[in-house]
Amino acid sequence: MKTWSNNRICGLLGIDYPIIQGGMIYNSGAKLAAAVSAAGGLGLIGAGSMRPDLFGDQIRKARTLTDRDFGVNIPLLYPHSAECVEVALAEGVKIFFTSAGSPKKVIGPLKNAGCTAVHVVASPALAVKCQAAGCDAIVCEGFEAGGHNGRQEITTMVLVPECVAAVDIPVIAAGGIATGQQMAAALALGAVGVQIGSRFAVSVESSGHGLFKQAVVDAGPDDTHLVLKAHVPVRLLKNVFRDRITALEAAGAGRDELAAELGTGRARRGMLEGDLAEGELEIGQVSGLIDDIPTVAEIMDRLLNGFDEALAKLHPNT
Ligand SMILES: Cc1cc2nc3c(=O)[nH]c(=O)nc-3n(C[C@H](O)[C@H](O)[C@H](O)COP(=O)(O)O)c2cc1C
């Protein structure tokens, strides 16, 4: 198996393989993050669905599950985001992945505390702003990705080389990566690591509901669509709720009407409580390639073996 000792992301984050498990509301608690870090990648505890006290508990719990470093993902759009940053700093976390907002809000305190700061972007213009703000690396997340998404509709295949050309800091590719072959494609585009969400959401260690995981296993290649673009763009699996949103959008519904239909607590209902009809089922386009619910260790093995196989098969004359 390939060694990654000179990889820029492995060096920056102190990991064995340039594989990061993306923060995922209702899916990425201590158990998932610790399992990914223990397997040589970087696990992230996702603050997005946690109150600050639960977030602190999960950080402490992860420390009991692995000796390896893990990081946190803090979307910056929530009222409790600033408090979550404080909690993680107080707990001694050194690796911060932020998203959904400007990294300028937090970069000062993170750098003063000697932390590594990585921000998620969906356009080359934002990549340039992150570099100027002092981020150590960026995650370039394409339109295929699960969860909340940019409005730009730039796919990973196009976004990654555009960002690589635009900045000098390391670029991590995200969106549509669930196999070693896809990881090899991302690195061929100039990324030095990958952030993976959907594949890790459908693992034994993810805290998502079993019915949610099985629904992703059963999903086909065209079962996810990006909806709520006028409000909070999010890629969702087809269900009764999403059909209603799609019909409202087709009828020209505005932001307020969409927000009212969404209401509150739908992501929790879908992914944590397993309400497959009325909950939000956030998952990426790559769900069509996800056919089982393995352990994190198994997923990591498949990614690394698939990567090596992809390289061995690459030949200009085939
Ligand atoms: C269920 C789910 C929840 C997510 N929640 C978050 C989140 O809280 N914060 C964030 O920055 N990204 C979130 N994401 C995006 C992931 O971190 C990751 O960038 C994305 O899933 C990569 O695309 P992929 O799903 O094709 O692997 C979420 C993705 C999924 C599937």
Distance 5 CA to ligand 1 centre (A): 27
Please, what is the average pLDDT of the chain? 96
The pLDDT value given to residue 99: 97
Q: Which atom of ligand 1 is nearest to the CA of 142?
A: 23
pLDDT of 70 higher than 80:
yes
Q: For the ranges 89-93, 101-105, 284-288, which has the lowest average pLDDT?
A: 101-105
Kindly state if the Cβ of 89 falls inside 6 Å of ligand 1.
no
Alpha-carbon gap, residue 228 to 77, rounded angstroms:
16
Residue 275: what are its φ and ψ, rounded to 5°?
Answer: -80, 95
More confident residue, 1 or 140: 140
Kindly state if the Cβ of 176 falls inside 6 Å of ligand 1.
yes
Q: What is the pLDDT of residues 158-180, one digit of tens each?
A: 999 999 999 999 999 999 999 99
CB 197, CB 174: distance < 8 Å: yes
pLDDT of 229 higher than 80:
yes
Distance 174 CA to ligand 1 centre (A): 9
pLDDT of 293 higher than 80:
yes
pLDDT of 281 higher than 80:
yes
Q: Which of 94, 132, 105 is nearest to 12 (CA)?
A: 94
Structure confidence at residue 315 as a pLDDT band (50, 70, 90): confident
pLDDT of 11 higher than 70:
yes
Kindly state if the Cβ of 284 falls inside 6 Å of ligand 1.
yes
Half-sphere exposure of 112 (CA within 13 A, CB side): 8
CB 208, CB 26: distance < 8 Å: yes
The pLDDT value given to residue 113: 98
Structure confidence at residue 151 as a pLDDT band (50, 70, 90): confident
Q: Which atom of ligand 1 is nearest to the CA of 48?
A: 8
Residue 160: what are its φ and ψ, rounded to 5°?
Answer: -60, -55
Distance 95 CA to ligand 1 centre (A): 17
pLDDT of 292 higher than 70:
yes
CA dihedral in degrees (198, 26, 255, 235; nearest 10)? 10
Alpha-carbon gap, residue 236 to 46, rounded angstroms:
19
Kindly state if the Cβ of 201 falls inside 6 Å of ligand 1.
yes
Kindly state if the Cβ of 73 falls inside 6 Å of ligand 1.
yes
Nearest CA to ligand 1 atom 1: 282
Distance 315 CA to ligand 1 centre (A): 33
- Tokens coding 73: 């993902």
The pLDDT value given to residue 316: 73
Q: Say how far residue 68 (Cα) sits from the centre of its chain.
A: 20
pLDDT of 2 higher than 70:
no
The pLDDT value given to residue 226: 95
Q: Which atom of ligand 1 is nearest to the CA of 208?
A: 1
In the chain, residues under CATH classification 3.20.20.70 are 8-207+292-308
CATH code of the region 8-207+292-308: 3.20.20.70
pLDDT of 63 higher than 70:
yes
